[in-house]
Structure formats: structure tokens, C-alpha cells
Amino acid sequence: MVNMYSRQENIHLATSKRIAIVGCGGVGSWTALFAANIGIRTIHIFDYDKLEVHNLNRTPFFPDDVGKLKIDAMRNVIKMYRPRCLVIGYDYPIKADTVIPRDIDSVIDCTDNLASQRNIEKLAKESNMEYIRAGYDVKDYESIVNVCGTNAKIWDNVPEEVGYSTPPAPSFVIPAAIAGALAVFAVVKNIKPNGIYQLEKLVTSEVV
């Protein structure tokens, strides 16, 4: 029987890693799917939100998933592609006293709140886990994808209250999927990103 991963064997990817993904929205959902598809066998997912219709424009979920917990919808999507992948879901946010399973190698933070990100980074460091933040920002309709590691300079001098904007910023699937792909690549190639992945002006749109 042909091994589905035979074409990537010579790339020497660290697919034996066990990862946690915090946030299962636009970036986190693609991160989880790419991680499963590349061969990672154990994925922990943290998200307490339910899927809404407006999430569908930038995620791999299905219309019938609307109303479900994102962790349950994500588990179902992954099982369609990689039935042997173990997906463990947690329907609560990570707080200062949250206990992260000790057998995790890498934590990929796909949340959109700065205070939460700093908290997740601290917990990961205390548990000697690799920490990677993946996300994208939109300014003047130009998407900036960023994947960075511990103590990334991108956080310097940013107010604690920065997070999800009101009204929500423009958001679509391309930068979300790219951020997820770069984060998974950093994990399986043992790259320690510190702002090295930053694609500026990924997409520019003229507003009439």
C-alpha cells in the first residue's frame, strides 16, 4: 500500500510533535487542518465560541456546522481528511490558572486579543513549550500576515486593550490560510520565528 506521505518523506518534517491550537477561527481552523493534513497525529484545540454564519467566508467549515462549538466542527472536518488524527477539544478560554496538558510540544496562538496572547505565551514558557503566534492585521484594506515566536517585537508598546476591533475589520480566507500554513511550517521544520514571517501588503483593495 502506498504511503500517503511518501512525497514528503525526504523533507524531514517533525510531524511527531503534539500541538495545541488556541482559537479556532479564521487562522486557527486552517492551522488545525494543515497540521492534520501534514501528518501531525495529536492536536489539542482550545475555543469556547460557536460557529456563526459570518465565520464561513474564511474557514473550512460547512454551512451545517453553524451553531456548533468550533472545536466540535473542527474535529468533524479533520476526521473527514485524517480519521486517525486525535483531536482533543477544550470549550473554555485559557486563563492564568489554566492547566495546559504537559505532553504538548508546541502552542500555536491564533487568538485576537493582546492580553490573552501574552497570557498564553506566559503559560507556554512556564511549561517549556514552544510558543508561536499566528495572525494577520488589516489596515487601509491591506492585509499583513505575521507569525512570530516568544518575545516578538511586534508586541512592544501596544496597549493591553488591543484586540478584536469594533466594528470588525475586513477579513477573508487568503491571509487566514497563509498565516495558518506558515505557523504549521514553523512547527514541523523546527523554526523559531521572531517576526521573520511577515508578509506586508498581501492584498490591496480599492474602496470606492
pLDDT tens-digit readout, 25-34: 999 999 999 9
Task: Specify the pTM.
Answer: 0.89
| pLDDT in the model for residue 96 | 82
Percent of the chain at pLDDT > 70 equals: 80
Classify domain 14-199 at the CATH topology level: Rossmann fold (3.40.50)
* Contact predicate 164/119, CB 8 Å: no
Distance between CA 200 and CA 142 in Å, rounded?
Answer: 8
pLDDT for 194 = 63
Secondary structure (3-state) at 67: coil
CA triple 114-115-117, angle to 5 deg: 60
pLDDT of residue 156: 53
Q: What is the mean pLDDT of residues 6-13?
A: 94
What strand order describes the sheet that includes 142-149?
86-90, 42-46, 18-22, 106-109, 130-139, 142-149, 194-199
Task: Please provide residue 163's backbone torsions phi and psi, each rounded to the nearest 5 degrees.
Answer: -175, -135
The 8-class DSSP code of residue 8 comes to G
pLDDT in tens, 65-121: 999 999 999 999 999 999 999 999 999 988 888 888 889 999 999 998 888 888 899
C-alpha cell at 82: 485524517
Confidence band of 193 (pLDDT split at 50, 70, 90):
confident
Q: Is 104 helix (H, G, I), strand (E, B) or coil?
A: coil
Question: Residue 152: its pLDDT value, please?
Answer: 56
How many angstroms separate the CA atoms of 121 and 97, rounded? Answer: 13
How much is the average pLDDT of 171-199? 83
